[in-house]
Chains A and B, each alone.
Chain A
Amino acid sequence: MTSLTMPQRSSSGSGLSGRKLPTWSFIAVAIAVAAIVLGLFAVTPLQGRVDYFVVLVPAYVVVQSIIAGVFEGRRSAKDRLATLMVGVAFIIAVIPLVGVLGYTIARGLKRFDVTFLTHSMRNVAEQDPNGGAYHAIVGTIEQVGIATIIAVPIGLLVAIYLVEYSRGRLGAFVSFFVDVMTGLPSIVAGLFIYALWILALHQGYSGFAGSLALVLLMLPTIVRSAEEMLKLVPSGLREASFALGVSKWRTTLRIVLPTALPGIITGVMLAIARVIGETAPLLLTVAFASSINNNPFSGAQEGLPLYVFSESSLPNETAINRAWAGALTLIIIVMLLNIVARIIARFTRARG
């Protein structure tokens, strides 16, 4: 951890300068504490690498704060303590992120090749080293694509209604149900579509049924984020447009929406990222398939989450490797979508 101290200055009579710990002292304290804890692990029953860091980090935070308190005074001790805790919290938050990403890339690259991207699992047994996820990639893109096409216009219109038009009761009612839907467990969305679309309406498994379940999950995210973005548009812009004699719907369409567009795109991306890895609703609505099915409206399809789920539950190393490569593909798709969204947002963002 870097420190923000200045080199020690001789104290003048003004009372403005105080004693400051030099930068090297932080490294020295860290090494000393590390050594002492290491000694502690040697003589006591404490052991294990993880345990070592669990003891070391709080010990360093406490010792460094006490030393700062002794040399620099109480206020500085509190400052050091708070700074160190924020830093530790940051590292703890980043570890799983980097860990998940790094591990998935490392494991996924073993089978992430042209064969994987261009072949399905048709006539491929679990112990075979070949096979791929082409059918799953097609399925995921179709399912999530259809879900986005349905959810974005509805979500955007609901958000526009809530921000620009609703007065009183109905708006509060809609807003409440959007909140309730935000907390909807994904398996419940899947069950609902299964009961309605497949059991009651006899439609059979299809990618489209999966899309319907994903729509239920995307809608609240899109409504909420678009609503927040529309609220951020200064009312002065609406008034400026009204004052030019522009009608309300044209103001909304031509002034408010373009101003909020970059944020809305980000919200849509978050919604897509949220549902692209959903497995539970697809289990009930899309089912599994090992062959390519390009038609999302008829017959069972595969999706990347389903692919990862089924391959990872097999005992063979070949299958496990395919599962990791599938997970990596999922991450790459989300990343590519994010890059595309950034580019779109850049071309449409408020200038100046």
Chain B
Amino acid sequence: MAKRIDVSGLNIYYGKFLAVEDVSMSIEPRTVTALIGPSGCGKSTFIRTLNRMHEVVPGARVNGKVLLDGDDIYASDVDPVNVRATIGMVFQRPNPFPTMSIYDNVVAGLKLRRRVRKAELDGIVERSLRSANLWNEVKDRLKKPGGSLSGGQQQRLCIARAIAVEPQVLLMDEPCSALDPISTLAIEDLIGNLKERYTIVIVTHNMQQAARVSDRTGFFNLAGVGKPGRLIEVDETAKIFSNPTEKQTEAYITGRFG
């Protein structure tokens, strides 16, 4: 069920400001693609265009093509709601719904989108929480509020919530940056498991993390303040971290940057 994404000639704007310029890359199904680069280079902006979350910000728009298995998600007859149902997202800060229990958080996407039979829900909750490596920790307190969990558990709850709706692709925008190393490890293990079924794109500031979890890595950079970010190169992770083609990439990953 995993799908591929092909981006070509994508320009991303906030109002008149060109934030990211001319990105073309392919994201293979059942792989983990990491996006790295300095702050403000447009990684997060780019990942948000892959499921049309970008346009939630007033004035934000794009031109260029994003193809999901060949279908342009920015075509005029495409409903962004359907795009987001197909391409799920996990955010930097864990954001469980505060009015809902752990159980309701997991099935929120399903319940809010369509009528579901109650009998199905229990199975979906268990399956999603197991996939997110959270089941054993919360199985006895599913009716407790989602906000009662620790930060790392909340983030895994958010991942469970995202995969409960069975997306084709999972986008993760710095999912570990608010977490401690042990929670980070739990989520990295989880990413390794999830890629058997999903296409995963992850933005990270942590280069070791990119090297550990990803199959392919894209490096974004910007020429200066106020200039648009660009995709410098994208390649096999092993190649990016050992023998990158571009000088900028090498400077960034070896820490001799700027």
Contacts and interface: CB of A to CB of B under 8 A. Distances in A.
Contacts of A351: 98-99, 101, 145, 147-148
A244 B89 CA distance: 7
A259 interface: yes
Interface size class of A (residues with CB under 8 A): 20 to 34
Interface string A219-255: 0000000000000001011111111111100110011
A173 to B, nearest CB: 17
Contact of A239 (B53, B88, B98, B109): B53
Contacts of A251: 112
B45 to A, nearest CB: 14
Contact of A259 (B82, B99, B158): B99
A36 interface: no
B10 to A, nearest CB: 19
Given A241-B108, A352-B145, A246 B113 contact: yes
Contact of B89 (A243, A247, A259): A243
A246 B112 contact: yes
Contact of A250 (B112, B144, B147): B112
Contacts of A244: 84-85, 88, 108-109, 112-113, 161-162, 165
B112 A254 contact: yes
B51 A243 contact: yes
B97 interface: yes
Nearest to A253: B112
B201 to A, nearest CB: 13
Contact of A243 (B58, B84, B99): B84
Given A242-B56, A245-B109, A350 B98 contact: yes
B197 interface: no
Contacts of A245: 81-86, 88, 109, 113, 165
B245 interface: no
B44 to A, nearest CB: 12
A258 interface: yes
A261 B99 CA distance: 10
B91 interface: yes
B95 interface: yes
B152 interface: no
A243 to B, nearest CB: 4
A229 B147 CA distance: 19
B84 A242 contact: yes
Interface in B102-147: 108-109, 112-113, 144-147
B3 to A, nearest CB: 15
A350 B113 contact: no
A252 to B, nearest CB: 11
Given A245-B86, A259-B99, A239 B56 contact: yes
Nearest to B110: A244
Given A244-B162, A351-B147, A352-B148, A239 B91 contact: yes
Given A243-B88, A245-B113, A245-B165, A350 B81 contact: no
Residue of A241, A254, A348, A352 most packed against chain B (CB within 10 A): A352
B61 interface: no
Residue of A167, A239, A245, A258 most packed against chain B (CB within 10 A): A245
B147 A352 contact: yes
B147 A240 contact: no
A250 to B, nearest CB: 5
Interface in B217-240: none
A243 B113 contact: no
B93 interface: yes
Contacts of A243: 51, 53, 84, 88-89, 91, 162
Interface string B16-55: 0000000000000000000000000000000000010100
A247 B53 CA distance: 12
B181 to A, nearest CB: 24
A258 B99 contact: yes
B58 to A, nearest CB: 6
A240 B113 contact: no
A349 B51 CA distance: 31
A328 B86 CA distance: 60
Contacts of A255: 97, 99, 108, 112
Contact of A234 (B95, B158, B161, B162): B95
Contacts of B88: 243-245
Contacts of A349: 99
Interface in A239-292: 239-247, 250-251, 254-255, 258-259, 261
Nearest to B88: A243
A214 B35 CA distance: 58
Nearest to A238: B56
Contacts of B95: 234, 236-237, 239-240
A142 to B, nearest CB: 33
17 contacts: A237-B98, A239-B91, A241-B112, A242-B53, A242-B84, A243-B51, A244-B113, A245-B81, A245-B113, A245-B165, A246-B81, A246-B112, A250-B112, A255-B99, A348-B99, A350-B145, A352-B147
Which 9 A-B pairs give the minimum distances between C-beta atoms?
A352-B147, A245-B85, A244-B109, A351-B145, A352-B145, A350-B98, A243-B89, A236-B95, A258-B99
Given A239-B89, A247-B81, A254-B112, 13 more contacts: A239-B95, A240-B91, A241-B112, A242-B84, A244-B84, A244-B85, A244-B88, A245-B84, A246-B108, A350-B147, A351-B98, A351-B99, A352-B98
Interface of B: 51, 53, 56, 58, 81-86, 88-89, 91, 93, 95, 97-99, 101, 108-109, 112-113, 144-148, 158, 161-162, 165
